[in-house]
A and B are shown apart, each in its own frame.
Chain A
Amino acid sequence: MDFPFMLQALPEIIKAIPVTFFMAVAATAVGWILGLFIALIRRAKTPGISQVLAVFVSFMRGVPLVILLYIAYYALPTMIYSYGLSIGREIDVSGVPAILYAITALVLDQAAYSSEIFRSALGSVDEGQLEAAYSVGMTKTQAMIRIILPQAFAVAVPNLGGLFVGLVKGTSLAYYVGVYEITATAQLLALPKLNYIEAYIMTTVIYEVISIIFNKVFNVAENSLKRFRGVATA
């Protein structure tokens, strides 16, 4: 073990944690909102669009995240560039930072997976409560926001927690498209003296600590929502 290396590298790796978090939080914020809408549209069985979304979700669940990242990184700029040409404009795609492509891929991934979680959570809330809300004159939006969604979220929280922790680990793949998050930074620092073992130990510990913290956070959220879950999941 090269302890001096570890002491020297650790602060550098820790400095990369915000990059990892930024990707995870951005992908979650956008991806889960999209996921919720996908779930609502699919549950409403809007003809046409719900089939399209079903295909999208099933495709996304089948494709490995690395491939998705490569597609976003290599194919997306070409597509945007040629789209630009088709409308008679030359768009400079080289200026777009790699992290944006990585986030795009992660957003799509999160949208698909979270939509499945939301779909089953929405399905677990008894239809009768929606009808009761209508019967007292509430609009669909009021009923969703005040009655159905809070219960669906309570049911979804444990699975969303798992999805988020998985995503934090998934961000390490952004290393393949040149984003200097935790893994890539450790890899880079290890290179000169081939301190790979030390680098991997440190990254593992960091991911473990992050996981433990977020599992705890989601557990607390889950418990505080439990008071009415007994009925919501029945």
Chain B
Amino acid sequence: MAKVELTNIHKSFGDNHILKGVDMSIEEGEVVVILGPSGSGKTTLLRTINFLDAADEGSVSVSGFKVDCKKHRKSEIIELRRKTAMVFQNYNLFANKTILENVMEALVTVKKYNKKDAEKAAIEILAKVGLGEDRLHFYPSQLSGGQQQRAGIARALILNPDVILFDEPTSALDPELVGEVLQTIKAVAQTGITMIVVTHEIAFAKEVASRVIFMEGGKIVEQGPPEEILVHPQEARTKEFLNRIINTNA
């Protein structure tokens, strides 16, 4: 059974038809990288998976729990969100909470852990993303972007989600901090957790992805293993897009 299954996802904002029937089936442990030009609907697609934006049509299923986008109940959305986690471009850490509290928060409020256990689990996860004891009681505003994003990853990991959604996790970072965050994401990928990553980091995609999806105009244009899509793309639009980012990255 697929870990994540999207069928015929359509989404419009007003008259703007953004997603035009996206189907996607992701197996357990896959690391799927989504590429595509700006405005192609990558962020919107990720947000329809956890219903931050509800799609107008289609269905979303995570670990066999299926929600119809047209008629969904609040309780279903909460349930779906408890199976997924998201890492945001701008980190979106809770500014009124320390790094430790940020990571503990969902365990305490959502999973009803007692504080002691939640704290222990959070400290462990934070150590895994390279945030040691000396940073635990800092507020997000007191940390570098790279540290904030690693805390964001810890916050996502602690719920032991079935899938983690990453939306351009490194694009708000100073160039010298990108490496440490990509390294962290790579380590997470190696634990076997299912991930969907929107990114423009081609080298990362080559190394870590099990599948690359190229999107344009709200549709999937082409998909396959990274060596196929990134090295020998079949579609002209994919080639053109790759040439463009490789040139700007160089």
Q: Known interface pairs A147-B94, A151-B95, A227-B139. Does A137 touch B105 (Cβ–Cβ under 8 Å)?
A: no
Q: Known interface pairs A135-B52, A138-B109, A146-B105. Does A228 touch B96 (Cβ–Cβ under 8 Å)?
A: yes
Interface residue? A78 (CB, 8 A): no
Q: How many residues of A contact B (CB 8 A)?
A: 24
Residues 150-179 (chain B) with a chain A CB within 8 angstroms: 155-156, 159
Q: Hey, which chain A residues are within 8 Å of B141, CB to CB?
A: 228, 230-231
A-B contact count (CB 8 A): 76
Interface residue? B241 (CB, 8 A): no
The CA-CA distance from A134 to B49 in the complex, in Å, is: 13
The CA-CA distance from A204 to B179 in the complex, in Å, is: 64
The CA-CA distance from A128 to B92 in the complex, in Å, is: 5
Interface residue? B206 (CB, 8 A): no
Interface residue? B106 (CB, 8 A): yes
Question: Smallest Cβ distance from A42 to chain B, in angstroms?
Answer: 22
**Cβ contact within 8 Å between A132 and B94:** yes
In the complex, residue of chain A having the shortest beta-carbon distance to the beta carbon of B79: A137
Interface residue? B36 (CB, 8 A): no
Question: Smallest Cβ distance from A153 to chain B, in angstroms?
Answer: 9
**Cβ contact within 8 Å between B88 and A131:** yes
Interface flags for B47-83 (1: CB within 8 Å of A; 0: not) read 0001010000000000000000000000000100110
**Cβ contact within 8 Å between B88 and A128:** yes
Identify which of B78, B95, B97 gathers the most chain A CB atoms within 10 Å of its CB: B95
The CA-CA distance from A126 to B88 in the complex, in Å, is: 13
Q: Hey, which chain A residues are within 8 Å of B94, CB to CB?
A: 129, 132-133, 146-147
Q: Which of A136, A151, A227 contacts B81 (CB 8 A)?
A: A136
Question: Smallest Cβ distance from A125 to chain B, in angstroms?
Answer: 8
List 12 A-B pairs, Cβ < 8 Å.
Answer: A129-B93, A132-B155, A134-B50, A134-B52, A135-B81, A135-B84, A135-B86, A137-B82, A137-B110, A137-B159, A146-B105, A228-B95
- Name A's B-contacting residues (CB within 8 A): 125-126, 128-129, 131-139, 142, 146-147, 150-151, 154, 227-228, 230-232
